[in-house]
Structure 1
Amino acid sequence: MCRVPAMVLEFCAILALGRYEGCMRFLATLLALALAAPVAPAQDAPAASTPHQTPSPPAPLAIDGEQIAWEEYAAWLVRFRGAENITAFALRRALERKAAAERIHLREENLVALIDSQVAERVAVAFDGQRERWIAELALQQLDPASYYATRLEELRLEQWTEALVQKQRTLDRASLLRVWEREYGPGGEQIMVSRLFLEVVLSSQPPGATRDEVLELGRVARARVLEKANALLAQLSAGADFAELVKTESDDPESAARGGLLDEPFLPENWPGIVGGDLTSVPMGQVSKPLYARGGYNIFRIESRTAHPLEEVRAEVEALLRAESASAAESEALNTRLLAEVSIEVHAELERPLSASDRRLGRAVFSLDGVPVSREKFARYLVAARGRSLAPAFVDRRVIDALANAAGLSLSSVEIDTRISADTDRLVEIFHQGDRAEWLSGLAARGETEADFRRKSHLRVAHTLLAERLLILEREVTPAQVQAAWRLRYGEDGQSLDVRFILRMIPTPPEGQLTTEEQLAAYIKDESAKALNFLAKLRRRALDGEDFSALARAFSMDPTTRDLGGRGPGRFRLHTWSQEIQDILTGLSPGAVAEPFAQNSQFFLFECAGIQLVPFEEVRDELRLTLETARPSQVEVAGFVHEKTRHLNITLLPGMFGG
């Protein structure tokens, strides 16, 4: 079976609802209990140094028929996704314990029955009642009904605990009571029963190629025609015509017309356009309204009855309705926040320690909740159940790349990984926070993270990317045509290279303690930027008046690499390494010209085109080839390379993925 991307697996799992029969239901229940077992309160005993471990579950997946040991996958999940899932694990345990304390008990048969109904609806709506097609959809996700039920049972258990706790702890404040009271009994608790005569507005068929304005005009004409008829009927009613008789002969709503126009539920303004609600609440008993446009046509309403329901008389019913309301997203989030605030989490260094194939140490504690150690095995069982299926493709990607890197003798040092993390972080800050590192750190803090946390979480991802890049570079083949194209791109059809000199000025660091507010810092930067540009403008005038540019660079440039060389860098000037804005400025200069001062990222440049050099292809061919061979691949190239190495693999999810 072909492998399915992780995001598709997660998305399809939400969609896959259908029906399931009795004999398999029992198996699904057992599987669900196995899923729940890792986080049951009774199992929170210390496990830091316990030599005994429970028997390992069966293999969770196979790659081209090779079964992956549960211990290998579990250890990878803990290290790769452990840190970001500790909070979810703690919340799951807190929900279960709080539900037990509140005597909220979920019966497995009730949960299974609810899934049965969801499955039945899914099969009826999406598959025209053909259960076989639903099972085929599950198979595309490497699921069968039993594994689907097992997974869905755990999801439903969390949903039901949350719903019940929110409802039980919900505050019955007066504002909420009034909201439900008026929703159920109308504004001010007055329940209004109405009859209506409905005239539908039907648009004439529009001619082919009609413009938007023409279509709008057709609609206006149709509404005007129906309104004219409604006003004529209103005139008959005012003259004494029987409302029920007119409804039977004129109304376009056959369901209400059969009852003389009577609607089968009380009138509630929120269910109708605002203009209808406002008009009807002021119509006297037994009287009719003017024609009102709503629900695709004009309505003439008659007030049949008004029944007052004072809040105190129906308070019990209103409170019951309020308590039974489904938990809102805000209420669920507030509950989770309260529960987590009561939990003390201590992460142990063992969590991210790499484990060899022969040293799984699953009994070692990786973190503690309220002082109680949680073993790697217990946490891994939770992760396999909660995230195992969706992360299987990522596991395969990394396993394949690691194997290829080992075969090629590739390895990484911690310095290389840290250097790439730093570079990626700088780029992230520059792109998404306009270079404001403090803003980025503030965003991390808002999520309860530090820069150290961010770097730690990035470590495995970056290591995988670096290995994939190096494997790609090893296999990369550069053709002569590609080298020739690179020469033309860099030096043009005529093989020309600019000889450029520049002077760099930067904003000096302010004295410590002098700037204490953001406003002061902004003012300082603005003032110093103006000074730098004015200073370079003066140097430009001196150069244009005949003063040697290289002498000016040696005297005033703040770039130590080029200053002693008179503004030139070592070797040939590499135009392609500069920003596009600067490239555009330099390519527009003729020999001997000096550009206007230019500011970029708090740096200020004055450029001179000293001349144009010819660069024969043969002279730079080897340099260009090496550049092409060793250039860092793009993210798209890396993703394509990994996909190419894994797309032929057959990934099979096995019972161990579902607690079986």
Structure 2
Amino acid sequence: MRKTIVIISSAMVLVGAIALGVYVSNSTNVLATVNGEKIKQDQVEQLVMAQHGATALETLITDKMIELEAKEQGITVTEDEMAAEMENYYEMYNGEEAFQEMLSQNGMSIEELENDIHYYLLTKKLMSSIIEVTEEETVAYFEENQEQFNQEEQVEASHILVEDEDTANEVKEKLAAGEDFSTLAVEFSTDEASKEEGGQLGYFSKGDMVEPFEEVAFELELDQISEPVESEFGFHIIKVTGKNEAKEAEFEEHREEIEDILFNEKFQVEYGPWVNLLREQYNIDYN
């Protein structure tokens, strides 16, 4: 039995207009002028319709099918699952603040992203019954890509960056007298990206930092503070706060990660045919 979805075409105009943040009740509303020449609301709507209307409509149809199919199968997305997915994004962009800035630069709200994530997670659950990742595939992927899972030697460090050697020596003297590294980083460091965090740089591997900085950082002992180190950016005072030794990857430690990678690869391949199969199960009427 085919299921029915009725889509009203006029909704496409509303979707397109809202996407541009220009929807008002009066379609003759003037949005801008150029040398006195008016650009009206209906002109914008027509342009949005011509360029994006069909795509927006098909997205709405697909989302509606996914929503109905999930409801029929009793599939839901929990708050914990949403939160975990958001954490993945934050980690990818080195923190929530940087991620929020990226969204803002791309004109996307957190609510829009959460909506996309909601439908993505629903889709993954619905498709899990047709996507199989075998033990043989998982082991083969690990063996072929083991090097990328190996842990390189890493150092966690903080630094105070200043413009000249005299200032560096002044900071070093204050540290020798027992003053707090983080407090001095906020006061003296010219590295705007790290100073407010007490100079914290996190963990890094060899090749991630400029050579003079890196050579000293990897030679320091845990909690040791360097003498001033000159680089192209100025003079650094470095404190090592953590060390990770190089370690060869073990399969079981990365099994779940590899299964996710393989699932997502198959997901990308199977998604289009799966949506087409859904469309065969629904009556989609365009009004």
With structure 2 as the length reference, what TM-score do the two structures score? 0.52
Contact 1:501 1:568 (C-alpha < 8 Å) held by counterparts: yes
**SS at the partner of 2:89?**
helix
Greater Rg over alpha carbons, structure? 1
Instruction: Deviation per CA, 1:602-650: give whole Å up to 9, x if none.
Output: xxxxxxxxxxxxx7xxxx5x7666554444744x643433312221324
Task: Report the number of matched residues.
Answer: 230
Contact 2:138 2:262 (C-alpha < 8 Å) held by counterparts: no
1:84 to 11, 16, 19: 19
Matched AA of 1:645: W
Contact 1:465 1:638 (C-alpha < 8 Å) held by counterparts: no
Instruction: Give the corresponding residue for 1:535.
Output: 216
CA distance in 1, matches of 2:191, 2:214: 25
Contact 1:483 1:624 (C-alpha < 8 Å) held by counterparts: no
User: Which is bigger in relative contact order (C-alpha 8 A, separation at least 6)?
Assistant: 2
Instruction: Give the corresponding residue for 2:267.
Output: 638
Say if 1:533 and 1:438 are closer, same or farther in 2 by CA, change over 3 A. Answer: farther
The answer on 1:391 being equivalent to 2:56 is yes
Instruction: Deviation per CA, 1:51-90: give whole Å up to 9, x if none.
Output: xxxxxxxxxxxxx85432469x96x997x87852541x22
CA shift, 1:398, in A, is 1.9
Say if 1:417 and 1:443 are closer, same or farther in 2 by CA, change over 3 A. Answer: same
Say if 1:397 and 1:486 are closer, same or farther in 2 by CA, change over 3 A. Answer: same
The answer on 1:67 being equivalent to 2:9 is no
Say if 1:518 and 1:488 are closer, same or farther in 2 by CA, change over 3 A. Answer: closer
CA distance in 1, matches of 2:87, 2:123: 19
**SS at the partner of 1:486?**
helix
1:504 to 156, 180, 193: 156
Instruction: Deviation per CA, 1:232-270: give whole Å up to 9, x if none.
Output: xxxxxxxxxxxxxxxxxxxxxxxxxxxxxxxxxxxxxxx
Matches within 5 A, 1:457-476: 457-476=112-131
Give the superposed CA RMSD.
5.5
Contact 1:506 1:558 (C-alpha < 8 Å) held by counterparts: yes
CA distance in 2, matches of 1:69, 1:397: 12
Contact 2:3 2:283 (C-alpha < 8 Å) held by counterparts: no
- Return 5+ residue gaps in structure 1 as ranges: 1-63, 99-161, 172-330, 341-382, 540-551, 576-614
Say if 1:81 and 1:391 are closer, same or farther in 2 by CA, change over 3 A. Answer: same
Matched AA of 1:402: E
* Structure showing the higher strand proportion among its residues: 2
CA distance in 1, matches of 2:193, 2:57: 50
Contact 1:421 1:455 (C-alpha < 8 Å) held by counterparts: no
Matched AA of 2:273: E
Instruction: Give the corresponding residue for 2:26.
Output: 93
CA shift, 1:483, in A, is 3.5
Matches within 5 A, 1:279-428: 335=39, 389-421=54-86, 423-424=88-89, 427=92
- Return 5+ residue gaps in structure 2 as ranges: 161-181, 201-208, 225-238
Instruction: Give the corresponding residue for 2:241.
Output: 558
CA distance in 2, matches of 1:519, 1:486: 37
**SS at the partner of 2:26?**
helix
CA shift, 1:487, in A, is 4.1
CA shift, 1:401, in A, is 2.7
CA distance in 2, matches of 1:387, 1:500: 46
CA shift, 1:654, in A, is 4.0
Contact 1:505 1:532 (C-alpha < 8 Å) held by counterparts: no
**SS at the partner of 2:109?**
helix
**SS at the partner of 2:156?**
strand
Say if 1:406 and 1:488 are closer, same or farther in 2 by CA, change over 3 A. Answer: same
CA shift, 1:455, in A, is 0.6
Instruction: Give the corresponding residue for 2:165.
Output: none
Say if 1:626 and 1:77 are closer, same or farther in 2 by CA, change over 3 A. Answer: farther
Instruction: Give the corresponding residue for 1:647.
Output: 276
CA distance in 2, matches of 1:476, 1:439: 35
Say if 1:93 and 1:406 are closer, same or farther in 2 by CA, change over 3 A. Answer: same
